[in-house]
Amino acid sequence: MSLDVYTGATPNGWKISIMIEELIDAGVELPPVNWHTVKLNGQQFTPEYMAINPNQKLPTIVHDGRPIMESCAILQYLGETFPTSLMPLDEGRWDVVQWLYWQAANIGPVFGNKLSYTRYINDATDEQKAHPLARFMAEALRLVAVLDAQLAEHDYICGEDYTVADIATWCWIRSYKWSKVDITTKPRVVDWVHRVRARPGVERGISFGVPKDEIDKFSKERRKQYQQNGGGIASNSSLRSDL
């Protein structure tokens, strides 16, 4: 048996590297993990990668010959295949599942679009970007308020236990400065961001693909690199049109 992880230094990619580190810290005996860095300069469009991920995005895992795509599906798969408190299998399961899907359907798309219009999209004028920027900013702030309310009585999203819902959501919220979404008016969210960041498994997980001195703050060169890569991803010209 083996576990192949195809990922990169992105919010969705870090979900999986964090999850694997957290499983290790929980004492899970994982099969040998083979890490594959997928470069977002077109490698995701190659026939080899599309054979395991027809959606041409990160991350993907292949466990014992079975490919799984979509980061939250991978979190759920790993959580159920290697049971720990990260993914409860009792009556608390649905609390976690609903917030995991909340991240996939809300936090990821909204913060991702806000980030794209803020940093990456270079084939539209400022006037053309003004409306989507305002729209995604308003929705991002609404979602931060939802998260803040959920954390009113608990240390973590689904209660006192840290779960895959925290992993999935944190990987996007932590980049609030890069997305230019101000979360500092919600101290419970800020405290939660620091609480999750302090976990050793998170420390190791977010170091994947990033030099140690740039884990929490990218260098100017790294910012430029990500901006160039992100611009290519955000541009329609980079999408496969022959499918």
For residue 168, the domain's CATH number is: 1.20.1050.10
Name the residue with tokens 């295949």.
81
What CA–CA distance (Å, rounded) separates 149 from 232? 36
Would you state the pLDDT for residue 122?
Answer: 85
Question: Does the residue 141 lie in any domain?
Answer: yes
Residue 150 placed within a domain: yes
Give every CB contact of residue 21 below 8 A, 6+ residues apart in sequence: 200, 201, 202, 204, 205
- Look up residue 184 and give its two tokens: 């500092």
229 pLDDT band, cuts 50/70/90, is: low
pLDDT at 214: 61
**DSSP assignment letter at 69:** E
CATH number at residue 28: 3.40.30.10
Same domain as 62, residue 102 = no
pLDDT tens, residue by residue, 159-172:
999 999 999 999 99
Task: Name the residue with tokens 């292949």.
Answer: 62
3-state secondary structure string across 162-198: CCHHHHHHHHHHCCHHHHCCCCCCCHHHHHHHHHHHC
Is residue 163 within 8 Å of 157, Cβ to Cβ? yes
8 A C-beta contact, residue 23 and residue 199: no
CA distance linking residue 114 with residue 47, whole number of Å: 30
Closest CA to 83 of 164, 14, 5: 164
Residue 40 forms part of a structural domain:
yes
For 39-79, write each residue's pLDDT tens digit: 888 999 999 999 999 999 999 999 999 999 999 999 999 99
Interatomic CA distance for residues 18 and 167, integer angstroms: 7
113 and 197 assigned to the same domain: yes
Q: How confident is the model at residue 208 (pLDDT cuts 50, 70, 90)?
A: confident
pLDDT of residue 235: 40
Q: Which domain holds residue 24?
A: 3-81
63: which strand partners?
3, 66
C-alpha radius of gyration, the chain, whole number: 18
Same-domain check for residues 101 and 73: no
Six token digits for residue 194? 């620091």
Residue 234 is predicted with a pLDDT of: 46
Inside any domain, residue 54: yes
Domain assignment present for 21: yes
Whose CA is closest to 99, among 187, 192, 22?
192
Asked whether residue 128 is domain-assigned, the answer is yes
* 152 and 193 housed in the same domain: yes
Distances in Å between the Cα of 41 and the Cα atoms of 8, 165, 187, 231 are 12, 29, 37, 10
Of the three residues 81, 108, 142, the one that is the final residue of a domain is 81
